Structure 1
């Protein structure tokens, strides 16, 4: 094969370029400290680096999420601490209010201070974070969680979920708690009710009183009390009473005192029955003789049992008519129990006579659970799932009303304080029933405040547990991040000793190639002639 001089020169130039290119790349690897300049330098290593970089990006995001979650949970913890302090003060004031020697003015002063505590609690329960979002509204962070209703009660407007952040590959951590679970789910001691069904005294003056009662044992109350309600308590004499269940069975033996009491006692007679506690009191009228006790108290009877749910209504502020829902009551307990939504219903009027009923919470795409039309005369009744609502006047198209059930099983702590304040504001002058109501309300309020503080403590424990989880995950995140960085370095970074040796070899090879070409390029056929 013939090799021409141009071929020799071209071949050697290509070799020089490859040699210079190899030396340049090696010098760049040494100067930059990065071995893989392009994926072609190490395809397998490049793919592994990409995976590691993606993992590092996730770890960085998780770290940021953990910082955000920590800040939010620390703020919630601080607010809960303040709420607990306020509840402790409310408890102290409630115990003071139970002092029977207090005057109406004294109780009024306590009521005023309780009002300030109530306002403080409302402010704390409506706390916002640094971003202006409400802490206790669940996932509806822009909606104020607790509002004061026109009737003096308080309602929760948030939802029952929470906001969450991904803090690891497999863990979604809640960064807040909803006000429903903390402040609405405290067990209510006032789940029983009583009423006098017979007063045998001809003058009409009531001398025997049975308190509304308090639940003191949830498990016994749920297992036994409910099944036999309503009960009848009959006062047989100044020392004996009898309790009958709803079927007429004598269940007196299940009471702690087995049907005995002391009508002459200055202290109330406590009746503990099936997980509930009632107070039986005798207050003789002026001029009564204790010697005639049996004739004065015999024949009184009371009905007591489970307190029914109350129904509250709210008119939308955007309504253009003057229509109001003036009352709402349970008319069919079976339909109410099985059909009425736990969060309530919303009435939306599509015209002055037609309306749709939606289960709350309602969204724009919700399907109505029922529909109806109104007559021409007002007021009239609208019936929904066992609840009768009286509407006062003709509504306008677009008017909305929400109707919610206030179960007696749980009670908002703000409402507990509100009910106590109402009792303390009532004059007890020459009013035995008012005095007994205050005593019973104080006992109920103390228990409910304790239950509320327990709910706050549960929330604090949950917040603390999540903060501990973040601490553990943060340490793990740092460890994984360090391992990731080390692994990336081992794949990507230049081995200086190897690269330096390689550079010397490449230089030697290039110099040898240059020397050999210099000799070959000087050869000529004419030198051999």
Structure 2
């Protein structure tokens, strides 16, 4: 006959089972390192942790975008550095071409150097990004952005591709702006000599002295007077008005026209005319082609001097454009670096937050497990001892 009742035994067994289940739960948590293994463990924490994981996925995607942009922009920076060197070499070639002691053969040798420079520059403009795209591909192009070798054309849409969670990072460079859309002459206006001129006068590239006075009109400078006492008259051909009339002309004298300054050199003949017009735009390849044609041709001294100064000025604009493009790429790279650093910082912050929501305090969990194991063992020993008791044991 046993003293413990059935109810007492069941209660003791239920308590032992509960403690064993608690031990199993603690062991699972320790094995996984997670306090919240299912939404039922802590619904609020589970929901917040899921939001944190979603944010981490977005940050990781944005970080991959920064890596792509950094790779492309670094390649672009290297290409633009080479382009700067090439255009600087071309500029030095044009300076050498101004040597009055050079004959046609010498100039043709310089033209060959410019041809090589042009070929290398065209290859740079079609630089690949290593992932099937093109560094100077604008808004994207499956083929090389510049097609044709004699007269290259830019096929992609102008602009840049942007990547990242909020399209924050440039992943291409606008090749049209860098290579194809460059102001002629001094960048504001271009000068020219009338084809019918008979004298030896030629006009320089000119410069801007007062941008506030610019009108954007076309002008003509016409030589009058006599060969011994030449004069000049300036006409605004767009408005049809005279700006200056019968002013004494002298070789190299400065002529100012509505904020523009030009010089006419040599000895123009009466009736000769020179023009000023708003600068158009052309590619760097067209500028190099003009320089090559000038060096390989056999123009008059006046035409040669004027052509050389004009292509020199246009090449300076192209060089300025490449330098500015490289500066822009440098700023874009700085933005990419800042974005990458921000992502790393936010990743740490969000990871810490998620950890606080669902990760387990290992020391605390081990302590709880040990306490539960001790209590369970004590309960088992107590139950085993009580279960073996009978009335005869109590009666002694």
2:331 is equivalent to residue 461 of structure 1: no
Structure 1: unaligned runs, 5 residues or longer: 200-205, 284-296, 308-407, 429-433
Give matches, 1:119-158, under 5 Å. 119-148=119-148, 152-158=150-156
On the 8 A contact 1:221/1:276 being kept in 2, the answer is no
Tell me how far apart the structure 2 counterparts of residues 30 and 305 of structure 1 sit (CA, whole Å). Answer: 84
1:422 aligns with 2:287: no
State the TM-score, normalizing by the size of structure 1: 0.65
Q: Distance in 2 between matches of 1:436 and 1:522?
A: 127
The answer to whether the 8 A contact 1:66-1:470 is kept is yes
Structure 1 segment 156-305 matched on structure 2, within 5 A: 156-166=154-164, 170=166, 172-189=168-185, 191-195=190-194, 206-207=198-199, 209-211=201-203, 214-217=205-208, 220=211, 223-224=214-215, 226-227=216-217, 229-231=218-220, 233-237=222-226, 238-246=229-237, 249-252=241-244, 259-262=247-250, 271-274=255-258, 275=260, 277=262, 279-282=264-267, 297-298=269-270, 300-302=271-273, 304-305=275-276
By how many angstroms is 1:93 displaced?
0.6
Measured against aligned partners, the alpha-carbon deviations of 1:102-128 in whole angstroms (never above 9, x if no partner) come to: 211111111111111111111111111
Partners of 2:56 and 2:281 lie apart in 1 by 47
Q: Residues 137 and 499 (structure 1 numbering): CA distance in 2 closer, same or farther, change over 3 Å?
A: closer
> 2 CA distance for matches of 1:496 and 1:145?
58
Distance (Å, rounded) in 1 between the aligned partners of 2:136 and 2:46: 47
Structure 2: runs of 5+ lacking an equivalent: none
Q: Distance in 1 between matches of 2:206 and 2:99?
A: 22
Aligned residue number for residue 309 of structure 2: 443
The 5 A counterparts of 1:297-316 are 297-298=269-270, 300-302=271-273, 304-306=275-277
The whole-number CA distance in structure 2 between the counterparts of 1:218 and 1:193 is: 19
> How many Å separate the matches in 2 of 1:90 and 1:497?
72
Give secondary structure in 2 for the equivalent of 1:142: coil
Q: 1:158-208 CA distances to partner (integer Å, 9 max, x unpaired)?
A: 221212221xx55611022111111223221173444267x7xxxxxx235
Return the structure number with greater helix share: 2
CA distance in 2, matches of 1:272, 1:106: 36
Shift of 1:412: 0.9
Give the conservation status (yes or no) of the 8 Å contact 1:153–1:418. Answer: no
In structure 2, distance between residues paired with 1:156 and 1:223: 31
Kindly indicate whether the alpha-carbon contact (under 8 Å) linking 1:196 and 1:301 is maintained by their aligned counterparts in 2: no
Residue 491 in 1 paired to residue 357 in 2?
yes
CA separation in 2, counterparts of 1:496 and 1:243?
A: 91
Please state how far the C-alpha of 1:220 moved relative to its aligned partner.
4.0
CA contact (8 A) 1:138 1:179 kept: yes
1:515 shift after superposition = 5.5
Q: Secondary structure at the match of 1:68?
A: helix
In structure 2, do the counterparts of structure 1 residues 474 and 82 end up closer, same or farther at CA, with 3 Å as the change threshold?
same
Q: Hey, what does 1:112 align to over in structure 2? A: 112
Name the counterpart of 1:471: 337
- Partners in 2 of 1:132 and 1:499 — Cα distance? 53
Q: Check 1:218–1:70 CA distance in 2 against 1; reply closer, same or farther (3 A cut).
A: farther
Cα distance in 1 for residues equivalent to 2:58 and 2:261 = 55
Q: Number of aligned pairs?
A: 385
Q: Which residue of 2 aligns with 1:324?
A: none
CA distance in 2, matches of 1:460, 1:207: 44
CA distance in 1, matches of 2:388, 2:209: 110
Q: Distance in 1 between matches of 2:200 and 2:224?
A: 9
The 3-state SS of whatever aligns with 1:86 is helix
What secondary structure does 2:156 align onto?
coil
Question: Structure 1, residues 263-315: CA drift from partner, whole Å, max 9, x if none?
Answer: xx6xx5564434252525327xxxxxxxxxxxxx44x14263437xxxxxxxx
Match of 1:385 in 2: none
Of structures 1 and 2, the one scoring higher in RCO (CA 8 A, sep 6+) is: 2
Q: How far apart in 1 are the matches of 2:93 and 2:222?
A: 33
Distance in 1, Cα, partners of 2:7 & 2:243: 120
Measure, in 2, the Cα distance between the counterparts of 1:32 and 1:186. Answer: 63
Asked whether the equivalents of residues 221 and 234 of structure 2 are also in contact (C-alpha less than 8 Å), the reply is: yes
Q: After alignment, is 481-490 or 513-522 more displaced? A: 513-522
